């Protein structure tokens, strides 16, 4: 059928289709109405059935193809007869019950670059608006529009690239960590934290958002389901006060 576009008010520029996508060789996909698209992931699509596709234009200026694919069940990981409890934190993303610690993702470098480009973007856009107003007040025959100025658009793309770099590196780090944990342990116990409530603390909100506790738990949930492991979420009430050995509640 015809592409189904989102509303103009929607942040992402994308459309979704249900037509058949075919693999053409090792490096190309044939998409209806778009033609041949070069990609390196055609090997993953073997023995699969593509149900739906979505083409997205990111703020960085790059196009991405998202596929909804029907595949067979993945192979289960071998059992290790190990159990572990995980306590998530800010300085260390995961502290295991056996003493191992995994640090939180450090995004300071690209965040600083994104702040620099954010300031440049705001300043350039403000100056462009002033020039547009001047043309309007002077009643110029061919007034310039805001879109005709390219400097602020370049700054916007540079800022978006830095922010996308942080998001991609953080997601890659979480994927590697969760896959390692699922391979190592058969039973994983984690606190059932309400991240949205914890982010109301403005002193810790940014650190909690950077740690991405919610994404970390979501990855553990579906990977445990895929690979035949078990994830247990416990009530976080008094977990920091009750001794794991004798059960004494310090109340502190």
**pLDDT by residue (tens digit) across 145-171?**
998 999 999 999 999 999 999 999 999
Q: 99: which DSSP letter?
A: S
- Confidence (pLDDT) at 176: 95
**pLDDT by residue (tens digit) across 203-242?**
778 887 878 888 999 999 999 998 989 999 888 777 667 7
- Confidence (pLDDT) at 35: 85
Q: Is residue 5 very low, low, confident or very high in pLDDT (cuts 50, 70, 90)?
A: low
DSSP string, 156-187: HHHHHHHHHHHHHHHHHHHHHHHHHHHHH-SE
Q: Is residue 13 very low, low, confident or very high in pLDDT (cuts 50, 70, 90)?
A: confident
**pLDDT by residue (tens digit) across 29-50?**
888 878 888 887 788 888 888 8
C-alpha 87/C-alpha 75 separation (Å) is 28
Q: What is the pTM of this model?
A: 0.80
Residue 54, both tokens: 């979505």
- Confidence (pLDDT) at 125: 95
- Helices 151-184 and 108-138, interaxial angle, to 10°? 150
Residue 175, both tokens: 């994927």
Where does residue 70 fall: left (phi above 0), alpha (psi -120 to 50 degrees), or beta otherwise? beta
Distance of CA 99 to the CA centre of its chain: 28
Average pLDDT, the chain: 86
The number of C-alpha atoms within 13 Å of 150 and in the hemisphere containing its C-beta is 0
CB-based contacts of 47, cutoff 8 Å, min separation 6 = 71, 72
Q: Is the per-residue pLDDT at 178 higher than 80? A: yes
218-62-157 Cα angle (round to 5) = 95
**pLDDT by residue (tens digit) across 72-104?**
888 888 888 999 999 888 888 998 988 899 998
Q: Is the per-residue pLDDT at 67 higher than 90? A: no
Q: Is residue 3 very low, low, confident or very high in pLDDT (cuts 50, 70, 90)?
A: low
Name the least confident of 13-22, 104-113, 124-133.
Answer: 13-22
**Could you state, in order of their start, the residue ranges of all structural domains in the chain?**
4-70, 83-234
**pLDDT by residue (tens digit) across 181-209?**
999 999 999 988 887 777 787 877 888 78
Name the least confident of 41-55, 96-110, 128-142, 164-178.
Answer: 41-55
Which burial class, exposed, middle or buried, applies to 43 when counting CB atoms under 10 A from its CB (0-12, 13-18, 19+)? exposed
- Confidence (pLDDT) at 70: 87
Which burial class, exposed, middle or buried, applies to 3 when counting CB atoms under 10 A from its CB (0-12, 13-18, 19+)? middle
H or E element in which residue 53 lies: strand 49-57
H or E element in which residue 31 lies: strand 28-31
Where does residue 247 fall: left (phi above 0), alpha (psi -120 to 50 degrees), or beta otherwise? left
């Amino acid at each position: 059928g015809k592409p189904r576009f989102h509303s103009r008010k929607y942040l992402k520029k994308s459309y979704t289709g249900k037509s058949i996508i075919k693999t053409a060789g090792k490096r190309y996909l044939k998409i209806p109405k778009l033609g041949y698209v070069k990609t390196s992931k055609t090997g993953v699509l073997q023995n699969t059935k593509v149900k739906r596709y979505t083409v997205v234009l990111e703020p960085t200026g790059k196009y991405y193809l998202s596929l909804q694919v029907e595949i067979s069940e993945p192979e289960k990981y071998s059992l290790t007869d190990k159990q572990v409890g995980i306590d998530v934190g800010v300085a260390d993303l995961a502290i295991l019950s056996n003493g191992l610690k995994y640090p939180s993702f450090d995004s300071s470098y690209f965040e600083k670059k994104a702040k620099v480009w954010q300031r440049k973007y705001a300043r350039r856009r403000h100056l462009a608006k002033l020039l547009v107003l001047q043309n309007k007040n002077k009643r110029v025959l061919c007034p310039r529009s805001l879109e005709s100025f390219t400097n602020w658009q370049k700054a916007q793309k540079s800022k978006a690239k830095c922010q996308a770099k942080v998001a991609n590196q953080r997601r890659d780090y979480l994927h590697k960590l969760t896959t390692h944990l699922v391979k190592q342990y058969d039973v994983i116990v984690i606190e059932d934290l309400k991240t949205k409530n914890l982010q109301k603390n403005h002193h810790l909100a940014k650190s909690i958002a950077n740690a991405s506790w919610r994404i970390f738990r979501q990855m553990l949930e579906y990977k445990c389901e895929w690979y035949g492991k078990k994830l247990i979420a416990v009530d976080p009430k008094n977990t920091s006060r009750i001794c794991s050995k004798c059960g004494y509640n310090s109340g502190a």
